[in-house]
Chains A and B, each alone.
Chain A
Amino acid sequence: MDAKDILGIPKNALPSQDKKSKPPKETQRKPDGISREVYALTGGLAPLMPAIDVNHLKRKAQLENEKITWQWLPFTSSARKDDLQLYHWVRVVNGVPPTGDYSFAKYNKSVDVIKYTDEEYAKYLSDPAWTKEETDQLFDMCEQFDLRFIVIADRFPTSKTVEELKHRYYSVSRTILIARAPSPGDVAGHPLVKDPYNESQEKERKRALALVLSHTKHQERRDVEVLAQAKRITEARKTIKAPKAPELPIISDVGPLGIDSADNVSPPTNSQLPSSSVTNPVSETASVVASLRMMRVYLRSYALEQLVQAASSSAGLRTIKRVEQTLHDLGVNLKPKVPTRAVCAEHLELRKEILTLLNLQKQLQYKEAEGTSYRDASYTEPPGTPTKRSVRAADLDQTFTPDSLGFGGERSGKREQKRKGPGRLSEAPSSPAQSKRPRKFKASD
Chain B
Amino acid sequence: MAQTVESDKVTRLSDDSEKKILRKRLKDVEICVPIVYGTIAFWLGRKATETQSHKWTVYVRGATNEDLGVVIKRAVFQLHPSFNNHIRVVESPPFEVSECGWGEFEIGISLIFHDDVCEKQLNLYHHLKLYSEDDSGPQSIKKPVVVETYNEIVFPDPSEDFYARIQKHPAVIVPSLPVSFNVPFDNLIEKKGDTKDHPLNQWFINFSEADELSNLSAARHQALIFSCYSNGASIWLMSIQLQVSVIDKYRIYNSC
Contact = CB atoms under 8 A, between A and B. Distances in A.
A353 B227 contact: yes
A178 to B, nearest CB: 39
A356 B229 CA distance: 12
B208 interface: yes
Given A416-B229, A433-B224, A371 B122 contact: no
B215 A332 contact: yes
Contacts of A297: 113, 117-118, 120, 122, 153-155
B150 A338 contact: yes
Contacts of B22: none
Main secondary structure of the interface of A (DSSP, over half): helix
Interface in B84-118: 113, 117-118
A168 B118 CA distance: 89
By size class, the interface of chain A is 35 or more
Interface stretch (B54-62, B134-142, B179-187, B234-242): B234-242
Main secondary structure of the interface of B (DSSP, over half): helix
B229 A425 contact: yes
A409 B230 CA distance: 8
A300 B152 contact: yes
Nearest to B217: A346
B189 interface: no
Among A338, A349, A350, A429, max chain B CB count under 10 A is at A338
B170 to A, nearest CB: 16
A229 interface: no
Contacts of A296: 15, 118-120, 155-157
Interface string B223-256: 1111111111111111011001101100100000
A215 B158 CA distance: 61
Given A338-B207, A339-B151, A370 B241 contact: yes
A442 to B, nearest CB: 10
A299 B153 CA distance: 5
Contacts of A336: 212, 216
Interface in A294-352: 295-301, 303, 326-327, 330-332, 336-343, 346-347, 349-350
Contacts of B118: 296-297
A111 interface: no
Interface of A: 257-258, 261-262, 265-266, 292-293, 295-301, 303, 326-327, 330-332, 336-343, 346-347, 349-350, 353-354, 356-357, 360-361, 363-364, 367-368, 370-371, 374-375, 378, 407, 409, 413, 416-417, 420-421, 425, 428-430, 433
17 contacts: A293-B157, A297-B120, A300-B32, A331-B215, A332-B215, A332-B216, A346-B220, A349-B220, A353-B220, A357-B226, A367-B237, A374-B244, A375-B244, A421-B225, A425-B228, A430-B224, A433-B224
Given A330-B222, A353-B223, 7 more contacts: A258-B227, A299-B122, A300-B154, A336-B216, A354-B223, A378-B248, A421-B221
